[in-house]
C-alpha cells in the first residue's frame, strides 16, 4: 500500500458494530464486563479506547512502524521517552530544538539526575565525542525548529547502533509524507500531532511510533502508568486530519517554495532558512532523506532589528501571529519572544535564534495572497 492510500486506509477497518466508515467516537471512560476481567478488549479508557486505538494504528501505518502511541500533547510524548531513562543517564540532543523540549529537558528532567548535552549535529561526527558509558539516547530534530537545520538520520543511526543507544527523531516539521525516520534507522519517531498531522489548529496531541515490541511495551506501560493520554474526540480529529495529510503537504510544499524564493530576493531580507535551497547547509542530505522541503521557513531582516521584526509580524493580515504551526492557515511567529523564549538569550543566539528572526508556517491559501501579505508587511 503506497503512502497516499495509507493515509486513508492504513491500519483501519470498518466499525464492527454497524459498518461505519469512520471509527466512531467512543466517548466513554469505562466498559461493561461480563465477569471480573471478562471484557471485549477494553476495560478503562486511560489504558485503551477504540477511537484512540484506531488512531494509533494509523500512526504506525504512515510511519512504517508496528506500534503507535497517542498522548495528550507532543511534550507528553517526549516526557514518556525520557522516562525510559534513569538517574545518571545522559542524552545527546541537537542544540537547535523546540523551546518546550529544551525546557522539559533542563527544567524538569535535569533535576532528576539526567544530563543533557546540546550540540550542533549538522555534522553527525560531532556526536561521538559526547558519548560515554552513561549515554543512553540521541535526540534529533530535523528539520530543526526554528533554524531549519538538516541532520543526517542514517549517520546518527549508525552511531547509535555502534554504541547501543536509542535514537529518537522529532519528525513534526517533515511529517511522514516527507520523511520516515524508522526506515532510516531511528528507534523512535515523535510527532507533535497538534501540527501537520491534525492540520487544522483544533487539537493538541502527541505521538510516538516504534517498530520494536520490547520498546513498545515499555512505552505503553509508561503511557498507561503516567496517564498523559488523549481523549476520543481529539483522536477522531487527528485521524480525520491524517486522511488529507498527503494533499495538504503537497500544497504546503508548493507554497513554501514560492515564499522562500520571494523572501530570498527581497531587498530588506538578510537570510532565509529553508532546506530546499541548494546553498542551504546539508541540502544534499535533505534531498536524500526527504521527499520535499515542507512549508516551514525562517528569515531575518537586515540589521537584526527587534522592533522591525515585531512590526512585520504585527502588520501581517493573512498570516496570523500565533504559536504553533502546520495548520491549513498560514501562521507567523517571533521565536525569540514566543516559542523559544524559555531558552536563555545567549544560548538561543548561538544557534541563530536572533531578535530579528521570524518563523513562517506557510499554509494552503492562494500563493498570490500570501506573497502580497508579506510584501505589504515587510514594505
Tens of pLDDT, residue by residue, the chain (379 residues): 999 999 999 999 998 889 999 999 999 999 999 889 888 888 999 999 999 999 999 999 999 999 999 999 999 999 999 999 999 999 999 999 999 999 999 999 999 999 999 999 999 999 999 999 999 999 999 999 999 999 999 999 999 999 999 999 999 999 999 999 999 999 999 999 999 999 999 999 999 999 999 999 999 999 999 999 999 999 999 999 999 999 999 999 999 999 999 999 999 999 999 999 999 999 999 999 999 999 999 999 988 789 999 999 999 999 999 999 999 999 999 999 998 888 888 888 889 999 999 999 999 999 999 999 999 999 9
91 pairs with which residues across the strands? 116, 137
Domain ranges in the chain with CATH number 3.40.640.10: 3-242
CATH 2.60.40.1180 for the 245-378 domain, yes or no:
no
Q: Is 46 a catalytic residue?
A: yes
Question: How do 188-192 and 206-210 pair as beta strands?
Answer: antiparallel
The CATH number of domain 3-242, selected from 3.40.50.11810, 3.40.50.720, 3.40.640.10, 3.40.50.300? 3.40.640.10
Domain ranges in the chain with CATH number 3.90.1150.10: 245-378
Phi and psi at residue 79, to the nearest 5°: -55, -40
pTM score, whole prediction: 0.96
Strands, sheet with 115-119, edge to edge from the N-terminal-most edge strand: 67-71, 206-210, 188-192, 166-170, 135-141, 90-94, 115-119
Catalytic residue among 98, 102, 220, 273: 98
Q: Is 52 a catalytic residue?
A: no
CA 362 to CA 29: how far, in whole Å?
38
Of residues 276, 200, 274, the one with CA closest to residue 237: 200
Centre a 10 Å sphere on the Cβ of residue 247 and count the other Cβ atoms it contains. Answer: 13
Whether the Cβ atoms of residue 179 and residue 171 lie closer than 8 Å to each other:
yes
CA 189 to CA 186: how far, in whole Å?
7
Q: Residue 14 carries which DSSP code?
A: -
Query: What pLDDT sits at residue 59?
Result: 98
Q: Is 195 a catalytic residue?
A: yes
Phi and psi at residue 139, to the nearest 5°: -110, 120
Catalytic residue among 52, 83, 195, 348: 195
Catalytic residue among 79, 170, 187, 234: 170
Q: Is 98 a catalytic residue?
A: yes
Amino acid at each position: 500500500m503506497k503512502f497516499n492510500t495509507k493515509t486513508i486506509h492504513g491500519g483501519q477497518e470498518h466499525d464492527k458494530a454497524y459498518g461505519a466508515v469512520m471509527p466512531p467516537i467512543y466517548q466513554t471512560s469505562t466498559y461493561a464486563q461480563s465477569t471480573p476481567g471478562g471484557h471485549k478488549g477494553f476495560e478503562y479508557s486511560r489504558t485503551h479506547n477504540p477511537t484512540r486505538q484506531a488512531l494509533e494504528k494509523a500512526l504506525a501505518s504512515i510511519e512504517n512502524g508496528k506500534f503507535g502511541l497517542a498522548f495528550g500533547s507532543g511534550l507528553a510524548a517526549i516526557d514518556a521517552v525520557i522516562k525510559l531513562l534513569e538517574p545518571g543517564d545522559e542524552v545527546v540532543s541537537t542544540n537547535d530544538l523546540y523551546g518546550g523540549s529544551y525546557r522539559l529537558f533542563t527544567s524538569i528532567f535535569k533535576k532528576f539526575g539526567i544530563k543533557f548535552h546540546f550540540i550542533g549535529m549538522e555534522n553527525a561526527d560531532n556526536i561521538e565525542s559526547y558519548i560515554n558509558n552513561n549515554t543512553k539516547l540521541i535526540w534529533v530534530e530535523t528539520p530543526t525548529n526554528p533554524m531549519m537545520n538538516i541532520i543526517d538520520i542514517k549517520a546518527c543511526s549508525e552511531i547509535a547502533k555502534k554504541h547501543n543507544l536509542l535514537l529518537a527523531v522529532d519528525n513534526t516539521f517533515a511529517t511522514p509524507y516527507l520523511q520516515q525516520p524508522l526506515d532510516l534507522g531511528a528507534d523512535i519517531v515523535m510527532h507533535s500531532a497538534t501540527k501537520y498531522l491534525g492540520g487544522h489548529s483544533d487539537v493538541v496531541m502527541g505521538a510516538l511510533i516504534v517498530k520494536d515490541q520490547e520498546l513498545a511495551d515499555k512505552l505503553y506501560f509508561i503511557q498507561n502508568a503516567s496517564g498523559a493520554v488523549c481523549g476520543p474526540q481529539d483522536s477522531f480529529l487527528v485521524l480525520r486530519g491524517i486522511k488529507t495529510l498527503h494533499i495538504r503537504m503537497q500544497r504546503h510544499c508548493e507554497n513554501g517554495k514560492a515564499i522562500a524564493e520571494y523572501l530570498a530576493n527581497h531587498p530588506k531580507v538578510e537570510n532565509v532558512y529553508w532546506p530546499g535551497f541548494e546553498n542551504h547547509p546539508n541540502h544534499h542530505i535533505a534531498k536524500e532523506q526527504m521527499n520535499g522541503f515542507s512549508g516551514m521557513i525562517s528569515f531575518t531582516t537586515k540589521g537584526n532589528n527587534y522592533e522591525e521584526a515585531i512590526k512585520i509580524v504585527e502588520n501581517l493580515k493573512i498570516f496570523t501571529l500565533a504559536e504553533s504551526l502546520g495548520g491549513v492557515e498560514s501562521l507567523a511567529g517571533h521565536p525569540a519572544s514566543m516559542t523559544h523564549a524559555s531558552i536563555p538569550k545567549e544560548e538561543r543566539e548561538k544557534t541563530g535564534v536572533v531578535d530579528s528572526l521570524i518563523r513562517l508556517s506557510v499554509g494552503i491559501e492562494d500563493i498570490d495572497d500570501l506573497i502580497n501579505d508579506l510584501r505589504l508587511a515587510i514594505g
